[in-house]
Structure 1
Amino acid sequence: MRVFIGFRLPDAIQKQLIAVQEEVKRASLKGSFTDPENFHLTMRFIGAVDAEEKSAIEAVLARCAEGQAPFLIETAELGNFFKKNKRIIWLGIKENSRLHQLYDQLNAALLKQKITVADEVGFIPHLTLGRGIVLSQDWESLCKVHLPPARQMPITALTLFESVRLNGKLVYRPIADFPFAGRKASADQSDSCTETE
């Protein structure tokens, strides 16, 4: 199975993403847009694992969640980057030290357990709206489009997801949730419309 670690999204954030996605669609000639049922925030993509590796990952997530208190993150501006010359457009997450600390902790715990993770360049928290997007206008014009107001969302649990195809459709299926132990929430905020190539 192919797995990754991330967060489920509340309904309010999903509705915001659908509205933003519609704006991107109007500005696009073509692309593969994320099914709203698949909206999520990825913390770490792992890749293919066997049953033993899956159990080791779940043990890591349980330990990481045990020492975490819930916190708040907030959506930011549109962003994009390219993979193999294909544009991926996403809604960003405002700079948040708690989120980055959790990412670092998670990486260290996976490494300690010798769990192999997929290569990546830095951690850019984002909510993917579509892949292989070809715009009908320039990026700067799309960045200026009026978007729904930023929304805060509570981060209260890590989730292990499986990436599968069901009846030809890509589905990100939650395998298990690992709730955080504490109660206090906090937020860090900054915003930017970033283009990364």
Structure 2
Amino acid sequence: MRVFIGIKLPEVSKGQLVAVQEEVKRASLKGSFTDPDNFHLTVRFIGEVDQDQKSAIETALARCAAEQGPFLIETNGLGYFFKKNKWIIWMGIKENSPLEQLYDQLNVSLQGEEMPLAEEVAFIPHLTLGRGIVLAQEWEVLSKVPLPPDQKIPVTALTLFESVRLNGKLVYRPLADFPFKGRTIRTIASKPTNI
């Protein structure tokens, strides 16, 4: 299974991201836009794992969550990565010490479980709006589009997600939630769900 560790977003935050995403769509000729059900903040991509590795990740997540208290993150305008003449456009997150500390603690916890981790260039917290985008205008024009006010998003848990294709559609399916200072909540159903 292909997994990653992330932060779920409340429905109200997803709704606000849809409004921003519509502005990006209007400024684009084409692209693959994130399904609103898939909006999340990736904290650590893992990749393909077996059942033993999944269990080790869950142990690391439980340990990390037990030491973490809730905090807020705040959006911070549009940003992008540029690859092969196409854009990955995202909503940025303001610099946030608790989030950086969580990222560092998570890496330490995963290494404690002897999980092989791919080298990451930098942790750039963001909420992906779309990939493979071809813009119809210059970035400078899009970057000045009026956006909703920055939103404050509560972070109260880490989630282990599985990336799967269901009926040809990419779905980020929560496998287990790890509430801060709390217990693990299994979210996977007996049948795959489009959550």
Q: What TM-score, normalized to structure 1?
A: 0.90
Cα shift readout 1:141-189 (whole Å, capped 9, x = no counterpart) = 100000011110110000000000001110000000000018xxxxxxx
The aligned counterpart of 2:48 is 48
C-alpha distance in 1 between matches for 2:81 and 2:172: 22
* Mapping for residues 39-118 of structure 1, pairs under 5 Å: 39-118=39-118
Give, as a single letter, the amino acid of the residue that structure 2 aligns with 1:50.
D
Residue 91 (structure 1) shift: 0.2
C-alpha distance in 1 between matches for 2:60 and 2:94: 26
Residue 85 (structure 1) shift: 4.5
- Kindly indicate whether residue 164 of structure 2 is the aligned counterpart of residue 177 of structure 1: no
C-alpha distance in 1 between matches for 2:63 and 2:83: 33
The aligned counterpart of 1:37 is 37
Kept in 1, the 8 Å contact 2:60–2:112? The answer is no
Tell me the SS of whatever aligns to 2:68.
coil
* Mapping for residues 11-22 of structure 1, pairs under 5 Å: 11-22=11-22
C-alpha distance in 1 between matches for 2:132 and 2:102: 30
Deviates most, 157-166 or 80-89: 80-89
Residue 11 (structure 1) shift: 1.2
Query: Could you say if the C-alpha distance between residues 48 and 113 of structure 1 is closer, same or farther in structure 2, counting changes exceeding 3 Å?
Result: same
Deviates most, 83-92 or 133-142: 83-92
Residue 116 (structure 1) shift: 1.9
Kept in 2, the 8 Å contact 1:3–1:161? The answer is yes
Query: For structure 2, which runs of at least 5 residues remain unmatched after alignment?
Result: 183-195
C-alpha distance in 1 between matches for 2:3 and 2:86: 23
C-alpha distance in 2 between matches for 1:25 and 1:88: 12
Kept in 1, the 8 Å contact 2:32–2:132? The answer is yes
C-alpha distance in 1 between matches for 2:177 and 2:28: 35
Aligned-pair Cα RMSD in Å: 1.1
C-alpha distance in 2 between matches for 1:45 and 1:83: 19
> What percentage of residue pairs aligned between the two structures are identical?
73
Q: What TM-score, normalized to structure 2?
A: 0.90
Tell me the SS of whatever aligns to 1:64.
helix
The aligned counterpart of 2:23 is 23
Residue 84 (structure 1) shift: 4.7
Residue 111 (structure 1) shift: 1.7
Tell me the SS of whatever aligns to 1:72.
strand
The aligned counterpart of 2:167 is 167
Deviates most, 134-143 or 85-94: 85-94
C-alpha distance in 2 between matches for 1:160 and 1:49: 12
C-alpha distance in 2 between matches for 1:111 and 1:83: 30
Query: For structure 1, which runs of at least 5 residues remain unmatched after alignment?
Result: 183-197
Give, as a single letter, the amino acid of the residue that structure 2 aligns with 1:163.
S
Q: Which structure is higher in RCO with an 8 Å CA cutoff and minimum separation 6? A: 1
C-alpha distance in 2 between matches for 1:50 and 1:90: 31
